[in-house]
Every structure is written in C-alpha cells, then in structure tokens.
C-alpha cells in the first residue's frame, strides 16, 4: 500500500496546488460573514473531491480492472487521453494562469470570481455577495468543473482500482488522498476561525504570493503528472 500512496502523491499535489481554488477561498474569507461562508466553501471543496473520487472509483468498478501484470489496452488509452489533457492544461496554465490568478487576487464578489474562472456556472454572476449556500456550491464547482483537478481525481481512482487491494484498503487510500487535497483549503479557514480579523493580512499576503508565483510551479507539476501518465501508457502499448 505504501508504494500506491507514494505513486498518488504527484496527483494529490496537483490538487493541492490549485491556485484558483485558493484564490476563490481567500475571496470568500475576505467577504462579509467570512467565518460561515469560509466553512461552507471548505465543505463544498471536500464534497467536490469526494464526488470526483467516489464517482470515478464507482464507474471504473464497472470495467474489467482485475490486478494483472499488463492492464487492458483501454486503460492505457485512458492514460494517454488524460496525459494529453494535462499537457494542454499545463500549457494553458503557463500562458493564462498568471492572468487568471491576478484577476482572482482582486476578486471581491461572486461576479469577480466567475470572471476570473470562466469554467464556473453563470448563476454565480447573479449575486453580489457570498452566501453559505453559494459558497458551498462554489467549492464543489471549482473542483468538479476544473478539468485538471478532476483529471487528477480520476487518475487516482484508476490507480487505486488497478492496485487491486479492494475493500477497506482502497477506502483508506482514497480518504488519505482526499484529506491531502482538502488541507490547503481547510488550513486558511481554521486560521480565520482561530484568529478572526487578525488573519486578514495573512490571507491577503497568501493571495498576493499565489498570484505572483504559482502559475509556473503549477504548470510544471501538471506537466510532470502528464508525462508520468504518458510514460505508463506508452510502456503498456509497447509491452
């Protein structure tokens, strides 16, 4: 199981280093009723990860994924598709990510957030303030509608299925993966709950740092994940 957990680490980091998610969270935490809406955003993010992992694991269970030395050809094809998606995602993040992060760094309302992250549903544009319900849905949407984050969850579920442990072990690995993905969202929320308004300068500093530095790092990480999937796909096709 240790080898499986280590193999999933790059995928977990791909979710952890999601700049738009952290930027959206900080926008929520700097809004009115920040403590309540921040908690609901974190719950939404956790729910998004759970949906991504759980649905992927369940759907993949419908296919022939018994552990074997050589997985079915369709598994390699899936890895190849995700590798190409992630490579395109890395290029997009590198070229557009900084501009999106800067726009998110100045977000104050749901309208600002949806303009900086256009994959989010348009209904967010209809309100000018964050509410608990909309913050919850924002947390869910910013994960499940982000192709890079969702791809990481699907690949993680695929690797867990292929490992063939089953039952409680699979559940434990998926829970650990989900916890790692939740931490970067949960920690700022806890910081606000503990420190209150004293956390505002720290949150603003975090948002500024991410806007300035994350794009290249995130693009590089996504590219590494893509190349790992590409290597696995090509190796399987040549085997």
**pLDDT 10s digits, 215-238:** 676 777 778 888 877 887 787 777
Calpha distance 189→42 (Å, rounded): 7
Average confidence (pLDDT) over 28-39: 86
pTM, entire model: 0.76
Q: What tokens were used for 27?
A: 């926008």
Specify the 3-state DSSP secondary structure of 117. Answer: coil
Average confidence (pLDDT) over 181-209: 82
Calpha distance 40→175 (Å, rounded): 20
> Confidence band (pLDDT; 50, 70, 90) for 210?
low
More confident residue, 169 or 123: 169
What is the C-alpha end-to-end distance of the chain, expressed in Å?
Answer: 25
Specify the 3-state DSSP secondary structure of 124. Answer: helix
Average confidence (pLDDT) over 6-34: 81
Query: Above 60 in pLDDT, residue 57?
Result: yes
* Residue 14: per-residue pLDDT: 79
Average confidence (pLDDT) over 3-31: 80
Look at the alpha carbons of 185, 191, 192, 197 in this order and tell me if their dihedral is positive or negative: negative
């Amino acid at each position: 199981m240790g080898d499986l957990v280590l193999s999933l680490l790059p995928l977990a980091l791909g979710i952890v280093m999601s700049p738009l998610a952290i930027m959206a969270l900080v926008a929520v935490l700097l809004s009115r009723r920040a403590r309540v809406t921040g908690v609901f955003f974190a719950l939404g993010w956790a729910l998004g990860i759970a949906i991504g992992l759980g649905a992927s694991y369940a759907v993949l269970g419908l296919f022939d994924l018994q552990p074997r030395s050589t997985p079915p050809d369709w598994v390699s094809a899936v890895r190849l598709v995700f590798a190409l998606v992630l490579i395109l995602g890395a290029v997009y993040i590198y070229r557009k990510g900084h501009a999106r992060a800067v726009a998110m760094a100045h977000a104050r309302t749901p309208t600002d957030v949806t303009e900086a992250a256009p994959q989010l549903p348009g209904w967010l544009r209809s309100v000018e303030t964050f509410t608990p319900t909309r913050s919850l849905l924002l947390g869910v949407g910013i994960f499940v509608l982000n192709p890079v984050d969702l791809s990481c969850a699907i690949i993680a579920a695929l690797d867990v299925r292929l490992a063939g442990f089953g039952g409680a072990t699979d559940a434990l690995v998926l829970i650990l993966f989900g916890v790692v993905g939740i931490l970067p969202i949960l920690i700022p929320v806890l910081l606000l709950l503990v420190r209150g308004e004293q956390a505002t300068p720290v949150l603003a500093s975090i948002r500024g740092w991410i806007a300035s530095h994350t794009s290249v790092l995130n693009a590089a990480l996504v590219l590494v994940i893509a190349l790992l999937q590409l290597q696995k796909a090509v190796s399987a096709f040549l085997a």
